[in-house]
Structure 1
Amino acid sequence: MAWTEHTSSSGRPFFYNPATGASVWERPAGISEARVFSRDTPPTLRACMATDRRVRALAGAIVRRCGVDALPRVQAAGADTSLCADGRGGAFCCESNRIFLCASTAWVSCRELAYELSHAYNTCTHVTRCAHGGIQVDDASCGYLSPPDLACSELRAAYWTERCAGRAERDEARCLKWHAAWALRACYPSDEHHPAHVRHAVQECTPRGADANLTRGGGDDEQEAVGRPGEATAADAKRV
């Protein structure tokens, strides 16, 4: 099985082989700079829980607060599907509780899985509501988020996956607003209420309290996920 690329908690990239459990700092021979996961070896929840603290924390939060059955099934989506159109990295189908990752998109990694897990967490905790309908995937509707819920979920996902981390507080807030607005423009280009939806997301959806430290401080939720029977743990991989 091929090596996969990840990012350590310090921001340094490293490489993990799910077949052997080995992880190394140096890029193994045969891995191109652009490719993170190949079509034949898409990222999996098991592999990403062993290597990415954000995936562990979000999966743990879902299990702890919504139950094991609320963990989404993760599978690859082909480049020819609408889920992967326009260079997208993946999608969370809230109605069927599945995460699709576009392995053909060069930059897709465990971080994208964490992003989609954020949407699953928001849905299972009823911060956002899944509406029936949307595109059809495997003869089942994917479900969708309304514009206000989409802005809310995207802002929280950007926060938990640290898309805006490392900036001054004011700059981080501006960056999170940009992510919410970008999602609205991409999914609801004709909606005339984008500014109102973004304002609502900032006021009502910015993670606070325990949620603010969900992926930034570890804690009980991360341990819950790591300790689940049948799932890979950090100890399963040879530490770098």
Structure 2
Amino acid sequence: MPTALVTGATAGIGLEFARQLAASGHDLVLVARDAARLESVAADLARTHGVAAEVLVADLVDPEQLATVEQRLADRARPVDVLINNAGFGLKERFDVNPIELEQAQHDVLVRAVLRLTHAAVPGMLERGRGGVLNVSSVAAFLPRGTYSAAKAWVNSFSLWAHQEYAARGVRVMALCPGFVRTEFHQRLGVADRDATAPRVLWLEPDRLVRDALADFERGRAISVPSRRYKVIVGASRLVPRSALQRLQGLGRK
């Protein structure tokens, strides 16, 4: 059975990836910070789908804990066929207000972890001539939204380059760019009224998002933007002046 490693696997988009991959016959390596919740999710998925569900408790901000995930990905004796870089991090306040330590932590999760985990996974995939990396980015990558947007723009650029570099050798790389998704993300940011942050039409359901993303991944796409409404927003971002885009700052957190 193929094996998929999913970061941020206990909630939201990551949990939905774990569910759908397990349903399609993938064994799992689940990565998150909350050990109790991680064990519960792993046991449920193993029982429901009859797959193996390995647990790795790791805070990706911590270099030593991140290294344990890198080592698992690099283990040639237990190959990982699909890496889902999903772990998220968001900051409610503006850049000039946030402590630099929080800004650094966000960068570590959204950029450094994606870089290092992909670097750990790809060599083995290339040796086997198959595999893939799906990086969860954001529609914010196309909009001027501070350091979160900048980090996701890096994910898009990195994914597009890696797709072009490795697709011919059997390794797919794709960036998924969701907008507003009904997950715990905004609650963790301390947003009391999630529905007040965006019109209802912009909210996506995680099951449909992940199903469509996996379909795009199988098709070999480099960038996946879910739903026609977000495709329109991304298309408009290439045409609208930056000054106008500044007024769209509420958009884009996954």
Larger relative helix fraction: 2
Fold shared by both chains (TM-score > 0.5):
no
Q: TM-score per shorter chain, which class? A: under 0.3
TM-score, with structure 2 as normaliser: 0.24
TM-score, with structure 1 as normaliser: 0.25
